[in-house]
Amino acid sequence: MTIANGIIIVLVIIFLAQKLIPVKGVKQMTTAQLKNEMKDKTKQYIDVRTSAEFKSFHIPGFKNMPLHQLHQKMGQLSRDKEVVVICQSGMRSSKASKILKKAGYKNITNIKGGVSAWR
């Protein structure tokens, strides 16, 4: 193996690790835990899947804010309340959590496994 191949492999591993490691300062919650939390109306529940995915099935109480529109729509969220984020599998909601964290939101929870784990 050449040095260049070794460097490429290391960079790929770093890239994948950054995608899979939970965002620092973002809580992780299972769908089982979420079922108990849904009674708490002080939290903001957002689903970052596409509008079509949301229309085909969504968890009552969640508001649709597609990931590609999050920058424009995040102003509708209160910075003082917890934001609970879900998607289909947990990948987009993790990305959305990073975006919210960078925008100054402090209390963010990502739902592990997403809507797929809920069903």
Residues catalogued as catalytic: 87
> What architecture (CATH level 2) is domain 24-118?
3-Layer(aba) Sandwich (3.40)
Q: Is the pTM of this model over 0.75?
A: yes
Q: What is the pLDDT of residues 71-114, one digit of tens each?
A: 999 999 999 999 999 999 999 999 999 999 999 999 999 999 99
Q: Residue 9 contacts by C-beta under 8 Å, 6 or more apart in sequence?
A: none
DSSP calls for 66-116? -GGGHHHHGGGS-TTS-EEEE-SSSHHHHHHHHHHHHTT---EEEETTHHH
Q: What is the pLDDT of residues 11-49, one digit of tens each?
A: 887 766 665 555 678 999 999 999 988 888 899 999 999
Task: Break the chain into its structural domains and give their ranges.
Answer: 24-118
